[in-house]
Amino acid sequence: MIPLTAALLAGGVALVCSLLLPFVVRPVLVRLGIMDVPNERSSHARPVLRGLGLAVLIAMVIAGVIGVLLFADAAPASAVWQVLAVVVAGSFCAGLLGLAEDLHGVSVNVRSALLLVIALAAPIALFWVQPSASVSLFNSGDVGRIAGAEASFGWVPALPLWGTILLVIYAVFFISSYINVANFMDGLNGISGFHGLIAGLAFAGAGWGMGLPWLVAAGLILGAGFAGFLPWNLTKPGAFLGDVGSYLLGGATAITSFAALLAGVPLLATIGPMVIYFGDVGVTLVKRVRAGHKWDEPHKEHTYQRIQQMGYSHVQASGFTAGATLITSLLGLASLFTGLWGTLALLAGGLAVLVFYLALPKLLPARA
């Protein structure tokens, strides 16, 4: 099977499963009584079913396994299927940790330790499978180049030992931090679904431009998985992802991003979908610490929450965040076609979008 066809098929399976699985998962969650009760952090006023991210998790794992099997059959001599397998496995583990939090609760120390284990195991596994992770998108045999870019992990083996260690340390903090960031940002209807859709499409676009079929597949699975959740989230009676969904979103996005970086995708293209989320959480936490508040206390001071408190609906407030994320993602993708100066200009543009987004509570008119 042509790798591009395999990637598209995996994405289609993720979308169909994500749309249909809630019919099975939702009654189970209702019987278990897993409800999100409003608290100091909540932007909703009534108890809402949570944990429907379990359906997204199952959908993405099913699609991921299918993608791995199809790639293994199409290019058995390539590590393409192995890279996708690492991304799927790491994402699954992140979602599983979130599920444990939803069902039983996990102590802060245990949760932090497990996050670090996931964030360490994923990059080590990616280093392990890095050779020969290249295959043409358009047929099942040619190993080559697309858009002039090497579709393999060619620059990684050239790193000195200290460089590899630093890269792993970066990955540990990057992946574990973003899982927490995605959890912090999951506070409005639509916000996580939009984020997963945009991030997934951005990664798929980067995979297309760089000739990385596993990245196309990983991006489509991520985007389709969270797109399928949106109708369940945005229509009455509604349902929330829960920690299983937000941990899955953070883990899948961060692990895919790091794998893309190792594969030679420009840095801006790998982090473009994550700039707004990182910026919103980082600036908010700094402000709270400077004001003398505990950083881990429940609150509603994120930019997206302040926009909603001005009278905008959940979808409108989530739309502002998603729109800013879409722009930074497109700027990141543009770096595939630029040199150093163009990349610096795109970086400046992305930071400008972030600054504008953070200023929206002051710029937007309040609504009654």
pLDDT in tens, 210-242: 989 999 999 999 999 999 999 999 998 889 999
What pLDDT, on a 0 to 100 scale, did the predictor assign at position 163? 82
Residue 129 DSSP one-character state:
T
| Predicted pLDDT of residue 156 | 63
**For residue 169, what are the contacts with CB-CB under 8 A and spacing of at least 6?**
none
pLDDT-derived band at 136 (thresholds 50, 70, 90) equals: low
First-to-final CA distance of the chain: 56
pLDDT in tens, 78-133: 678 899 999 999 999 999 999 999 998 899 999 999 999 999 999 999 988 865 44
Is there a domain that residue 22 lies in? yes
| 321 vs 145: which has the higher pLDDT | 321
293 belongs to a structural domain = no
Query: Residue 4's pLDDT band (boundaries 50, 70, 90)?
Result: confident
Is there a domain that residue 313 lies in? no
What range does the domain containing 264 cover? 3-271
The answer to whether residue 308 is domain-embedded is no
For residue 255, being part of any structural domain is answered with: yes
Number of helices followed by number of strands (H, E) in the chain? 15, 4
Q: Is residue 345 part of a domain?
A: no
Biggest distance spanned by C-alpha atoms of the chain? 62
- Higher pLDDT: 49 or 122? It is 122
- Whether 311 maps to a domain, the answer reads no
Interatomic CA distance for residues 74 and 84, integer angstroms: 14
- Is residue 157 situated within a structural domain? yes
Q: How many structural domains are present in the chain?
A: 1
Predicted local confidence at residue 145, as pLDDT: 37
